[in-house]
Amino acid sequence: MTSAAAPPTSLHRPAVSATHGARASVAASSNRVHLGNLEHLFRSRGAIESSGTAAAPVQPARRRQQAPLLRLPSFFKRAKGDFAVAKEEQVDLSPRLFQPVPPDGPSPRGDIAASWRRLHGEDGWRGLLDPLHPDLRREIVRYGEFVDAAYGAFLSQPDATPGDLAAPVHVPLQDAAYRVTAPLFATSSVGFPSWLALAAPCAAQRTSLVGYVAVCDSPDEVRRMGRRDIVIALRGTCTVLEWAENFRAGLVPATEAVDAAASAVSASDAKVECGFRNLYKTAGDGSPSLSEMVVTEVRRLLKKYEGEEVSITVTGHSLGAALAVLIADELAGHGDAPKQVTVFSFGGPRVGNRAFAERVEARGARVLRVVNAHDVVPHLPPRPGGRWYADIGRELRLDSRASPYLRPDADAACCHDLEAYIHLVDGFLSSHCPFRANAKRSILRLLKNQGGNVKQLYISKAMDMRARLDAGG
């Protein structure tokens, strides 16, 4: 799990004068400021010597990492694809990569009013994944940032509880076109023994902030997207009790079928992972279950925007990706849901058996799983001989070795990291092409979260660049 704290104000792009000479002066000053902040970032983690010259940095501390749900046995072999592998000479040192927002702004968002249904899986993303369509890339990155905001909300308010009016939940949304309408909480079905709960009350909290519901509230953005979008974003595992649920990998019956489209799949045949279903269906002390919260809020919003074109997009990372599939299955199964219910998941584990996967598809929910070939979590729970568990929907397969910035031996935490996932999506062209040369996403957050997995050559070159800019005045 990833995402950096909000950048200091000094990192924002300054206003530029109208004359060419002033623009050049401001640009040089801006670069020095940005690289100075980068130097401070490395220095705070022991990466730069006091002399200011390039040095072999100590691995920076990692933040907000999501470890694998389970440890696989040594005989497990990671899935491999036919990907272009990055080479050292492909390292890009463009100043835009050191800024929270590139000098020429974020990737432009084109009008997708006529194509949004295809981008959200109406025809199974046929012809859009490899090579990756630019509009789909922007959509996936944008929904990854919604998940990042769910992590930010929890980490800044880990003790938040439902109905706490004294401390309303704050979600650090990056997209100003959306407005948060409701926080979401998940409750574990297990708890600590009473004596242990008294010793560690924070760790024993059964109900935790897991995500939120947001709606596009900008008329201009609604026109650009061709519909009003309702987003449900969910973080990955963060609490001890959530970890306990993750390990409950037995299959249990899924919820009863409620629509004719899914009637061909018997409810007793469709099964899901026990721990995931517990977190989705368990009510807290005086608070509804995650399932009830989502259904109630989505119904309220659908009624509010009745008569408009509306989409429901569910997105999550790791555990949140599993919960996203359960949510999409339930929402698509209700007769009053809009036709388009889409899941964009990052590093998600398997959720249920083949009968459950068939039920999700029969109900019309579209699932796009973004998977790093070297991430072990999407291969969990294991399915010996192809039995018990099944993958759902379509897969966008990435490879962390294709990034010119990440070490080819990046560890398991990096391969599962949300920011690393967003970084890989931003640079992906196709499985046979190198990393996108004009990728715009800043690597500051990648350096903060996964500094020890960034190539040492890249860090050294970045410090050389800083020294040259300083010397040039």
The span from the CA of 73 to the CA of 53, in Å, is 43
Q: What is the pLDDT of residue 418?
A: 97
Spot the catalytic one: 188, 208, 318, 345: 318
The bridge status of strand 366-372 relative to strand 341-346 is: parallel
| Intra-chain end-to-end CA distance of the chain, in Å | 39
SS3 151: helix
The span from the CA of 358 to the CA of 226, in Å, is 29
CB distance 48 to 463 below 8 Å = yes
The span from the CA of 439 to the CA of 287, in Å, is 44
Residue 375 appears among annotated catalytic residues:
yes
CB distance 238 to 317 below 8 Å = no
Q: What is the signed CA dihedral for 48, 50, 55, 60, rounded to 10 degrees?
A: -20
DSSP-derived secondary structure for 63-79: -S----SSPPPTT----
Spot the catalytic one: 148, 229, 329, 375: 375
- pLDDT by residue for the chain (473 residues), tens only, comes to 444 333 333 323 333 334 444 444 444 444 444 434 444 433 333 333 333 333 333 334 344 444 444 333 333 343 445 566 665 545 555 655 655 555 444 455 789 999 999 999 999 999 999 999 999 999 999 999 999 999 999 999 888 888 776 678 899 999 999 999 999 999 998 776 654 555 455 556 889 999 999 999 999 999 999 999 999 999 999 988 898 888 888 899 986 544 444 445 455 689 999 999 999 999 988 889 999 999 999 999 999 999 999 999 999 999 999 999 999 999 998 866 667 899 999 999 999 999 999 999 999 999 999 999 999 999 999 877 667 899 999 999 999 999 988 999 999 999 999 999 999 999 999 998 999 988 878 777 787 788 789 887 766 665 666 566 567 64
Q: What is the pLDDT of residue 107?
A: 52
- Cα distances (angstroms) measured from residue 214 to each of 157, 296, 305: 18, 14, 13
CA angle 89/94/95 to nearest 5° reads: 145
Cβ neighbours of residue 397 under 8 Å, at least 6 residues apart? 81, 371, 373, 431
Nearest to 156 by CA among 40, 41, 64: 64
Q: Which amino acid is at 81?
A: G
Helices and strands per DSSP (H, E), number in the chain? 14, 9
Spot the catalytic one: 289, 416, 417, 423: 416
The answer to whether the Cα torsion of 332, 153, 68, 459 is positive or negative is positive
Q: What is the DSSP letter of 10?
A: G
Tell me the β-bridge partners of 311.
229
Nearest to 397 by CA among 65, 150, 125: 125
**Structural tokens at position 373:** 């070939």
Owner of token pair 């026109």: 223
Nearest to 323 by CA among 284, 288, 359, 282: 282
Question: Please, is 174 exposed, middle or buried when counting C-beta atoms within 10 Å of its C-beta (0-12, 13-18, 19+)?
Answer: middle
CB distance 239 to 129 below 8 Å = no
The span from the CA of 184 to the CA of 175, in Å, is 19
Q: How many CB atoms lie within 10 A of CB 44?
A: 12
Q: What is the pLDDT of residue 205?
A: 80
**Structural tokens at position 198:** 């008294």
User: 40 — phi, psi (to 5°)?
Assistant: -60, -40
The answer to whether the Cα torsion of 130, 135, 141, 147 is positive or negative is negative
The span from the CA of 263 to the CA of 250, in Å, is 24
CB distance 410 to 450 below 8 Å = yes
Rg (CA), the chain: 23
Owner of token pair 């009745």: 306
Helix (H) or strand (E) holding 425: helix 418-427
Longest Cα–Cα distance of the chain, Å, equals 72
The span from the CA of 410 to the CA of 415, in Å, is 7
Alpha helices in 263-375 (DSSP H): 274-281, 290-304, 319-333, 354-362
The span from the CA of 252 to the CA of 124, in Å, is 28
